[in-house]
Chains A and B, each alone.
Chain A
């Protein structure tokens, strides 16, 4: 077994356990967007960064616990970094993306409010009208807003808003590792990177089997559920198979 301390409290974990797992044993919930206990950690959102007495911060979800390690999960340095990272993500986040039907809640906005990120709260703007709100992004923490990523409404089950995607890789691991459907990956490089289906096909034209795992694990409004109603009786035979509610 491995003995370490987290925020001064001793904890014992089996070899191979991560700092994130050790913290959980103590009831410490480190903020995460890219991690899910069912998935292999990737350490890309950087929100679970902790101090371990090294010059660099380290991502708790991927870093293995080590004997004698002294971990700090909160400090001003960590708070500033976490809030800044969330602001960076929000600067590209469409204001109404969280309004879409989801299996889970919008973890990015929940974290934004928990960490006190500087971002125009979408609720305070719900009264505004006049322009299509769905492509609107706002500066967060003074960081210039980004926009222009495409929507993909070709799947009858899942709606894809690339602008709301934070590239946490959860949908990809859900698709390829959990469900072993092996449809989703990433296309492009750097800021141009997007999630993609097969050879970057529209979702509805890809080999996606509509299992819904990607939507379920998505922590933002990037992958949401489409909600359809039965067609009214007088539409029978018209070829109309239903209406999208939202």
Chain B
């Protein structure tokens, strides 16, 4: 963390990282130049040239593509052409898809249409909007009751029994990881608890970056006490004394909310040495990611925390055994951690009854794309996609539903007749897609799907770390083929697409590669008429995916 923080400090001081400063840093810390080059050129947050006073970052990804970002951005570029001291840059999904088409002006999120006006006022900070916040059902507390589960655990005469009770309750609840992989939370806590090496760490993965996904941002902004208590409970159970929140750098408001919450917790004796007079000690710090979707992959995240390029590790071993600095590390997503206090406070029967029609629990879903009221919705698990779209005001502009991606950019598109699917891990998998990062992206009738699929494949190409052969080359080749087809109408050589899909799925090191062509193969499966070269006789990739991968 030290080296990346030094680079950030240096950049904050000078505005960019010039060769002389990097040379000086290399001598001062005894770090070879090649390592600095590796970091500075890998992470998008680092700049090697001076930035103008105003930078407009324009999102080009899934939800913004559906909102016509390309056209709006072209108009903006024309309008601002020749404006001095201003740069317009393309950025990957900014995590504010409810604003689509979204942009950031000097870090201030806005609608792309408002970017020019905002740029002329050169905003500095990122004010938190005032106003009443709606109550979230996942929050079991009145304000003066917060951290009740942690307090009770620490007052327990036997911390060992208490920790085991917590693991049992989580296992019984069936809570699964909400970051995308869906690993059973109770089992993960149990495994890390059983590791003997010390110290251990708890990492909250707050690097949400999947196009269409912004639920964790809202949870951190509005329920930071649940995130902090979730981390503390994880640390209590596995025996860690240090927690790290790995936060994407675009989430300024979430950072402010978390910092304020950590201050409050410290002031109340809930963090620090001997929490509330017990033997349990805990420090939590925030680490701001220097950027990139791949950092949400748990081992890439660890590489970044260890001051290396964020390239996923070969697994096994998993972070629970060999994590940060080679030590056992409990890593959970923001939403997963935030749900833990509610489940433990109100009990498993409550959690089971919070869902619908036999599905347990509550789920935060980011809804974006062609809906009237995009935003984060907290729904009973088992709510159908059609009902959630209605809750979000229906498909925008009175269109019919054409398609939807239930779990963000990497989940397979499903056609409208699957909108009756209850939202839960197993039910969505049965329809051939996945819960993924809990991001419903809605596509209205009349939207051509091949450009959308190409947009998502391009995102994965842009965000591939470049470490392994299949992903570095496969995502590029597929993007080139799709661009050629979109430009000239030349049919795709489907045998080559199938080959690339096979190589990505079977031989990539991490999940980015496995899923990179999902948007294309699922469009080909359900809408073969929109994919030139993909014959109706051979829809989709034709490749049987390994169990659990799609």
Contact = CB atoms under 8 A, between A and B. Distances in A.
Given A182-B34, A185-B37, A187-B38, A143 B314 contact: no
A167 B472 contact: yes
A208 to B, nearest CB: 11
Contacts of B42: 186, 188-189
**How many residues of A sit at the interface, in one of the four size bands?**
35 or more
Nearest to B507: A46
B547 interface: yes
B548 A182 contact: no
B506 A81 contact: yes
Contacts of A220: none
Q: Which of B469, B480, B495 lies at the interface centre, i.e. has the most chain A CB atoms within 10 A of its CB?
A: B469
A191 B32 contact: no
Contacts of A70: none
Contacts of A89: 469, 473
A242 interface: no
Contacts of A197: 34
Contacts of A199: 19, 22-23, 33-34, 36-37
Interface string A23-63: 00000000000000000000111100100000111110011
Nearest to B17: A199
A111 interface: no
B463 A190 contact: yes
B466 A188 contact: yes
Nearest to B473: A88
Given A84-B499, A146-B476, A187 B37 contact: yes
B493 interface: yes
A84 B503 contact: yes
A73 to B, nearest CB: 15
A88 B470 contact: yes
A49 B506 CA distance: 10
A143 B463 CA distance: 21
A198 interface: yes
B477 interface: yes
Contacts of B292: 189
B461 A80 contact: no
Contact of B464 (A59, A190, A207): A190
A87 B477 CA distance: 12
Given A55-B547, A190-B463, A88 B469 contact: yes
A191 B19 contact: no
A172 B463 CA distance: 23
A81 B37 contact: no
Nearest to A92: B473
Nearest to A193: B466
Q: Which of B316, B462, B477, B548 lies at the interface centre, i.e. has the most chain A CB atoms within 10 A of its CB?
A: B477
Interface string A172-204: 100010000011111111111100111110000
B312 to A, nearest CB: 11
B23 to A, nearest CB: 8
A54 to B, nearest CB: 9
B502 A85 contact: no
A45 B469 contact: yes
Contacts of B19: 199
Interface in B312-363: 314, 316
B535 interface: no
Interface string A79-98: 01100110111011000000
A198 B468 contact: no
Given A62-B314, A91-B473, 15 more contacts: A43-B468, A44-B509, A63-B314, A85-B470, A85-B503, A85-B507, A88-B470, A141-B496, A142-B499, A144-B477, A146-B473, A185-B37, A186-B466, A188-B42, A189-B464
29 contacts: A43-B314, A44-B469, A45-B468, A46-B468, A46-B470, A57-B506, A81-B507, A84-B499, A85-B507, A88-B470, A143-B496, A143-B499, A143-B500, A167-B466, A167-B472, A183-B32, A183-B34, A184-B34, A186-B41, A187-B41, A188-B42, A189-B466, A190-B472, A191-B464, A191-B473, A191-B476, A193-B472, A198-B34, A200-B37
Interface of A: 43-46, 49, 55-59, 62-63, 77, 80-81, 84-85, 87-89, 91-92, 141-144, 146, 166-167, 172, 176, 182-193, 196-200, 207
- Give the 5 A-B residue pairs with the shortest CB-CB distance, closest first: A185-B34, A193-B466, A55-B546, A182-B32, A191-B476
